[in-house]
Structure 1
Amino acid sequence: MNDPAPDADEPDRTPEPSASRDDDAFVTPGYELQRRASLAKDRRDFQALDSAVGSARRAEGLQLLALGRLMERTCGPPAGPPSRDLEFAFRSLRLEVSARYKLSEYAAARLLNIAHLAGTLFRSAVNVLLAGEINSTNLRVVVEEGAPFGLEPSGPLAIKRSRYETAVLDHARIEPSNRLRPIARRLALEFSELNEDARNEEAAARRSVCVSDLPDGMAELRAYLPAAVAYGIRDRIRQIAKSVVLLEAKSGPAVPEKAQDPRPRKRPQVEADVMADLLLRGVTDAGATPDPADGDEPIGGSPGSAAGELRPALGIGVSAHIQVIIPAHTLGERGEARRTDGIPELVGYGPIGSTAARELAGGERVWDAVSVDPDGAVLSVDRYRPSAEIRRLLAARDLHCRAPGCRIRASKCDLDHTKAAVIGGETRTDNLAHLCRGHHTLKHNSPWKVEQQPGGVLKWVSPTGTEHIERPPSRVRFRTARDEEPDAF
């Protein structure tokens, strides 16, 4: 039940083919018979996997229920008062689970806590896991993001928790955990009706910087910052690093000691060096600042200029690009709050407070205000710095790569013609979708098929014939919770 950090960056490591091929490239003498035989075997193996996965999910559900009962007898209900005796009882149980199942005590504690909450407060989610309809990582997301509803098994927040659970399970059945988490976070905020701005302010008051020692002469520097600030810092570092990489590729290392190293610096190394230089000295060791117009070509010298002749990269002219999507129904004519059931979102992170979003919208040069209908479909996008209308609309609709399970943000993706332009595909919103470079090349160089249906829905068909329906994430993110609630409430 261990899952990686769900909202971490997802670098695309897919090797790119040197040239594109069309589907006819797969039809060679004898190939079709071999391919059909192989696909038949693939289908049988996937059927066996489907059966095994279903059994594993039921087993995980039974495991959670058993661990939850152990926690209930050991520690009482989740909302019970803490005591020293209960602490030692929990530590004893944690040690036994750790020793019996060869887990670290940290992993055992996390598993016990999830089981305690799931078995008591999120029983519907456990039942869906037992039925094999969701996996254990998605159940964990449902439970963890349900924290705003507290621990009481009854009362007003418990009723709201039940509504949240019903709504989020619809998404948990079809979304991978990395996409489910921001959806669950948004639904929890909407159904709980808690003051997210107050929560943001309380969390921001705990901002800090710390260093942890690591082996081999290294250490880890961590900063606890508001999400918009952290993403802005990361983006600015990446812009400067991109300029340095381009400069070194054309002119060689600008730092004398680096010139003796035959191994060129990789992008992550350059990003770390840029951050260290900026924090320690306010300048970078090499290069020029990128032109804000395109971010690709260093300025301050010609491509053939020696690195030392370029002006230092002080970071002047390099500003962070953070994209905040604000459903238009959350803003009034002058930017004041008008409705509270639309949650602004920092692209690449997830929901943020409406106050922070309005401040960013007023201060940043690039932001999107998205008009949506009650079902969450994007109607229009207004932007402070206008670009092509189709790109604006599709960026708001797609948010990230539209391949199943991929969450690389739209700004790092290609706009792909679902039906290729060379065979008559039109450049229209109903024939375009964002694909990261890896999935874009896979689409054109493998038997995978993609069809765009009304409303921006993509139907992916695997080589074995399995269909995967990929809905526009904006239909999920921007749909208001109260449109899903029954009238009785």
Structure 2
Amino acid sequence: MAKTRETPDGEAYLATLAGLVADVGEVAREMARVQIRELRVLAAAGRLAEEQAVSKNAKVKLHDMALRSIAAEFGGVLRATDRTVQRRMGEARTIIEGFPAAVTAWESGRIVRGHVTAIVDAAAVLPAEMWAEFEAVAIERCEEETPNRVRGELETLAHRMHPRSFAERHEEAAASRCVRLVPGRDGMSDLIATLPTVIAEGIHDRLTQQARAIVDTRDERAAGGGENGAVAATDARTTDQVRADVLADLLLAGTPALDDTRDTSAGPLGAIRARVQVLVPAATLTGSDDGPCDLSGRSPIDPATARTLAGDTTIWERLFHDPTTGVTVATDSYRVPSGMRRFLQARDQHCRFPGCRVAAIRCEVDHTHDHALGGATELSNLAHLCQRHHSMKQFTAWRVRQLKGGVLEWTSPLGRTYREDAPTPAVAFTPAAPPVAGEPAPF
């Protein structure tokens, strides 16, 4: 049964909303002008300090003293410390002088500040002489997506453009892995582990699954009685708190305190394992390419790890494609999802609401045209939506229809339309060619 929309849609409501949307657009444009002006002023101050170095031998000292003096002067006006202002001056020079095309695109409204930040952050791994080349490609990509969606792609692009291979740089970076303790306030501290991305993601994912299992089943444990039941009956912890407690239990005791399977080899918590979707180019698997692989919805990982995941495990979903032809060579999951779900996960990669980047493996498959209203369960009527945006589609006046090629066209309560193209495919799907008479069927 179709559910009643909860978003009001009267004429007065829509007129008020339209006015507020117009206002926020104007405010955003005005903020961009002010922010760019501030960056240019701070960058000019940094150049002024550099010009005070009158001799080569004294340049470093004079430059630093001039920077401190100007930063302190600015700090008095901005009510900020001179160290903070000096850092902002350096960042402003990097943006204004190192990425002028991005600033111009921001000024014209083609991109927003979040895009500029993503471009600058991603380019940090590249030599300065390559920034302009990277910037040109990055701006074009940013015009089509929100900053959070494009960030991972820009990181991968920068790594691929780097003159040294990603595998070589990852090996050096992995040598710096460590665990640090940062004392905090009120008897609390931060335990920080610097690990290869795929390991860190796996750890966090497993902690999350274990925490959710504890939260979701504590009522059942409380009803069961016994010592664990008594503890569960008073357990009002949030998922974040449970996740932190599980981490401490695992590291200090080897098993979660509320894990009923701690003395067995099977059970809900004992069976939980991390699940991460990795997109691996064919050239990487064969060893002819040492570029980064895409940890779907997150960031690049090194090729050696991707090869291991693709070949040596039964709990990671793998997608294997030929980057030259774009034809899918294999798509496999040891958890045995349906072929339709695997196709959609590879096509969508993330939630298909404009701007959302929740990975597809964390989303729900939604019938674009409601199944209860006759919508078919077929690829042209299915797309991934996270729980938040799935609920918005059901209970608000936002509407969506699916066009050819997996394109979603969203319509807001004000009638504004937002085209949501399927992400640039990390794998490409093509129908198999019909067999030629007399030739054996392909495998």
Match of 1:190 in 2: 160
Give the drift of 1:383: 1.1
How does 1:396-407 map onto structure 2 within 5 Å?
396-407=346-357
Match of 1:279 in 2: 251
Give the drift of 1:340: 5.7
RMSD: 3.2
Match of 1:304 in 2: none
CA deviations over 1:203-224 (Å, ceiling 9, x no partner):
1111111111122221111101
**1:48, 1:384 → 2: CA distance?**
48
Match of 2:432 in 1: none
Is 1:364 matched up with 2:313? yes
Asked if the contact 1:288–1:312 (Cα under 8 Å) also holds between the matched residues in 2, the reply is no
Match of 1:394 in 2: 344
CA deviations over 1:129-166 (Å, ceiling 9, x no partner):
22122222221211121112323xxxxxx3x4323211
TM-score (norm 1): 0.77
Asked if the contact 1:452–1:459 (Cα under 8 Å) also holds between the matched residues in 2, the reply is yes
Asked if the contact 1:241–1:271 (Cα under 8 Å) also holds between the matched residues in 2, the reply is yes
Residue type at the aligned position of 2:238: K
CA deviations over 1:312-354 (Å, ceiling 9, x no partner):
98964433222211133x34xxx3224466x411124211222
**1:225, 1:204 → 2: CA distance?**
7
Is 1:228 matched up with 2:198? yes
Match of 2:186 in 1: 216
**1:451, 1:380 → 2: CA distance?**
30
Asked if the contact 1:284–1:314 (Cα under 8 Å) also holds between the matched residues in 2, the reply is no
Compared with structure 1, are the counterparts of its residues 367 and 254 closer, same or farther at alpha carbon in structure 2 (3 Å cutoff)? farther
Tell me the SS of whatever aligns to 1:406: coil
How does 1:432-443 map onto structure 2 within 5 Å?
432-443=382-393
**2:132, 2:97 → 1: CA distance?**
12
Tell me the SS of whatever aligns to 2:353: coil
Match of 1:97 in 2: 74
Identity of aligned residues (%): 29
Asked if the contact 1:402–1:434 (Cα under 8 Å) also holds between the matched residues in 2, the reply is yes
Match of 1:295 in 2: none
**1:133, 1:449 → 2: CA distance?**
26
Aligned length: 419
Match of 2:215 in 1: 245
Give the drift of 1:94: 3.4
**2:329, 2:287 → 1: CA distance?**
19
**2:86, 2:113 → 1: CA distance?**
16
TM-score (norm 2): 0.84
Asked if the contact 1:458–1:470 (Cα under 8 Å) also holds between the matched residues in 2, the reply is yes
Give the drift of 1:192: 2.9
Match of 1:294 in 2: none
Asked if the contact 1:212–1:221 (Cα under 8 Å) also holds between the matched residues in 2, the reply is yes
Give the drift of 1:87: 3.1
Compared with structure 1, are the counterparts of its residues 353 and 260 closer, same or farther at alpha carbon in structure 2 (3 Å cutoff)? closer
Asked if the contact 1:208–1:224 (Cα under 8 Å) also holds between the matched residues in 2, the reply is yes
Tell me the SS of whatever aligns to 2:125: helix
Asked if the contact 2:219–2:233 (Cα under 8 Å) also holds between the matched residues in 1, the reply is no
Compared with structure 1, are the counterparts of its residues 113 and 91 closer, same or farther at alpha carbon in structure 2 (3 Å cutoff)? same
Is 1:150 matched up with 2:127? yes
Compared with structure 1, are the counterparts of its residues 131 and 420 closer, same or farther at alpha carbon in structure 2 (3 Å cutoff)? same
Match of 1:180 in 2: 150
**1:100, 1:254 → 2: CA distance?**
64
From 23, 29, 37, the counterpart of 2:12: 37
Compared with structure 1, are the counterparts of its residues 438 and 214 closer, same or farther at alpha carbon in structure 2 (3 Å cutoff)? same
Is 1:319 matched up with 2:294? no
Give the drift of 1:193: 4.2
Match of 2:418 in 1: 468
CA deviations over 1:68-124 (Å, ceiling 9, x no partner):
222223247xxx998344333333333333332234556534432321112212100
**1:57, 1:313 → 2: CA distance?**
54
From 261, 267, 272, the counterpart of 2:239: 267
Give the drift of 1:22: 4.5
Match of 1:351 in 2: 300
